[in-house]
Amino acid sequence: MSNIVITISRQYGAAGREIAQKVAEKLGVHLYDRQLVHIAAAQLQIDELSEEELLKLEREVPPLGMNFTPFFSFGMRGEKPLNQQIFEAEAGVIARLARHESCVILGRCADFVLQNERNVLTVFIEASDKFRAERGVSAYMGKTLADLKREDEKRALYYKHFTAQEFGDPMNYDLVVRSDKGTTDEIADAIVAYAKAFIK
């Protein structure tokens, strides 16, 4: 069997990060998430930004028809906005990881970047509004369902901008999972079992 790469995208508040961590633990592999933006920044020799600024820049999508990044006036290197360069550098890192090791990749449009790779299982995790509303209170410092949905709108805008696809569309993923249908351990076990059956 080749190395296994699992990409996990998720609705905000659907326990996607916790499930991704458990999937990685059960497979005995690394989970890649925020460190990808740091690797990309290092490749672009960006050392003047804090982690918070890097993550915000990564999430910002330039308004359509604009050729600059409004968040940072120094965000141009060559003709491409800095967040476009970060996305492309991240995509290159993700592609290299998928070729060389088994891993779990959380977010970062990895499902799109790796859509033609045979050793990849792309997963989308969703949950009911009731489940997400309860987690907003218990796990996200009192965020409301409306707060969670606003975060999803940002993710959807970013995803659409860089992939021209719809965030959460089942046709973009190999497996769509409802995290409110079991414990995080049970959901992680199911994803691992599916990946092992799916990737030969």
- Domain residue ranges of the chain, discontinuous segments joined by +: 5-198
Least Cα distance to 11 among 115, 113, 143 occurs for 143
Helices (H) then strands (E): counts for the chain: 8, 7
Min mean pLDDT across 65-69, 73-77, 111-115, 142-146 is at 65-69
The dihedral region occupied by 30, where left means phi > 0, alpha psi between -120 and 50, and beta the remainder, is beta
Question: Which one is the CATH code of 5-198: 3.30.460.80, 3.90.1520.10, 3.40.630.30, 3.40.50.300?
Answer: 3.40.50.300
Strands 76-77 and 120-126: unpaired
Tally of CB atoms within 10 A around 40: 23
CA neighbor of 83 nearest in space, from 69, 64, 93:
69
This prediction's pTM = 0.82
Query: How would you list the strands of the sheet with 5-10, edge to edge?
Result: 30-32, 103-106, 5-10, 120-126, 175-178
Range scoring the smallest mean pLDDT among 91-95, 127-131, 143-147, 186-190: 91-95
Which tens digit of pLDDT belongs to each residue from 119-146? 999 999 999 999 999 999 998 888 999 9
List Cβ neighbours of 147 (8 Å cut-off, separation of 6 or more).
136, 140
Distances (CA, A) of 196 to 6, 186, 190: 10, 15, 10
Q: What's the pLDDT band for 88 if we cut at 50, 70, 90?
A: confident
The CB-based long-range contact list for 54-62 (8 Å cut-off, 24+ gap) reads: 54/86, 57/82, 57/83, 57/86, 58/83, 58/86, 58/87, 58/90, 59/154, 59/158, 61/157, 61/158, 61/161, 62/161
Strand-strand pairing, 80-81 and 76-77: antiparallel
